[in-house]
């Protein structure tokens, strides 16, 4: 599953990646400013999805731009600037997250399915409304789903955000989190199951 909402839509002000890159590599101050103005909004949105504190998100964006500009000479321009910056800000945000993550996590076990002796779920799943996804056009519903994602234990939330929302591959996610493909796959599945449990009361048929 490689769906992505990654920032591939370049702002109108920066129509030509190659020219902007060449100017930045030549040390043109105006080009650096144009790059910051064009992409900082997108990068801030990415950092906010990973970090819950606004100050941390802004710091991560600043870290990302400084890191990108420091390495501008090594960027070959084969990918879009937005894609390159996306990867860098994810890295910067994860670094911030690691320094923040000190409190113990809650267990995810209670949010996963439990089975009776006959191997059926103790709380049998009920069908969800056919209109479940359509109601996301309402801001209130979007906020509710985002709120449920934020309630996930951090270890699981971050995998879900990187894979399902930022559109990174399993390999990229494992590399960024310094873990194995198997761990990423398992955590992603558990995170989706737990999120499903949070969403179930809102979307099961017969509920208001």
Partner 1 sequence: MNCREFTEFLHEYLFGNLPAAERAEFDKHLAECPWCVAYLDSYRKTIQLEQAAFATAEDAPPPVDAPEELIQAILQARARSS
User: Which positions touch partner 1 (CB under 8 A)?
Assistant: 1, 3, 5, 7, 11, 32-33, 36-37, 40-45, 49, 58, 61-62, 65-66, 69-70, 113, 115, 118-121, 124-128, 132-133, 136-137, 141-142, 145-146, 149, 160, 164-165, 185, 188-189, 192-193, 195-196, 199-200, 203-204
* 3-class state of residue 152 by DSSP: coil
Give the position of tokens 């779920």.
121
Q: Shortest approach of partner 1 to residue 103 CB, angstroms?
A: 24
Q: Shortest approach of partner 1 to residue 156 CB, angstroms?
A: 12
What is the C-alpha to C-alpha distance for residues 80 and 57, in angstroms, rounded to an integer?
23
**CB distance 160 to 149 below 8 Å:** yes
What is the C-alpha to C-alpha distance for residues 11 and 123, in angstroms, rounded to an integer?
48
Q: Shortest approach of partner 1 to residue 9 CB, angstroms?
A: 8
Question: Whose CA is closest to 160, among 109, 196, 113, 121?
Answer: 196
Tokens encoding 6? 């990654």
Comparison of 30 and 78: residue with beta carbon closer to partner 1: 30
Q: Shortest approach of partner 1 to residue 168 CB, angstroms?
A: 13
Handedness of CA 166, 171, 175, 177 (dihedral sign): positive
Comparison of 93 and 195: residue with beta carbon closer to partner 1: 195
Comparison of 17 and 59: residue with beta carbon closer to partner 1: 59
**CB distance 26 to 103 below 8 Å:** no
Comparison of 12 and 78: residue with beta carbon closer to partner 1: 12
**CB distance 167 to 5 below 8 Å:** yes
Locate all alpha helices (DSSP H) within 112-153, ordered by sequence: 139-150
Comparison of 145 and 183: residue with beta carbon closer to partner 1: 145
Comparison of 80 and 204: residue with beta carbon closer to partner 1: 204
Q: Shortest approach of partner 1 to residue 98 CB, angstroms?
A: 21
Q: Shortest approach of partner 1 to residue 137 CB, angstroms?
A: 8
């Amino acid at each position: 599953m490689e769906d992505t909402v990654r920032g591939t839509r370049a702002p109108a002000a920066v129509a030509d990646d190659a020219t902007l890159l060449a100017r930045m590599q030549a040390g043109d101050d105006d080009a650096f400013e144009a790059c910051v103005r064009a992409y900082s909004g997108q990068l801030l949105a990415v950092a906010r999805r990973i970090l819950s504190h606004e100050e941390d998100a802004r710091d991560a964006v600043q870290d990302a731009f400084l890191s990108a500009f420091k390495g501008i000479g090594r960027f070959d321009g084969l990918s879009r600037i937005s894609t390159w910056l996306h990867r860098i800000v994810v890295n910067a945000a994860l670094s911030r997250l690691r320094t923040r993550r000190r409190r113990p996590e809650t267990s995810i076990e209670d949010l996963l399915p439990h089975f009776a002796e006959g191997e059926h779920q103790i709380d049998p799943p009920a069908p969800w409304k056919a209109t479940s996804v359509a109601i996301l056009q309402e801001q209130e519903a979007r906020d509710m789903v985002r709120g449920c994602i934020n309630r996930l234990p951090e270890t699981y939330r971050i995998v879900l955000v990187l894979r399902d929302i930022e559109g990174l591959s399993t390999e990229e996610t494992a590399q960024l989190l310094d873990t194995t493909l198997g761990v990423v796959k398992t955590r992603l599945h558990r995170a989706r199951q737990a999120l499903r449990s949070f969403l179930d009361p809102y979307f099961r048929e017969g509920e208001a």
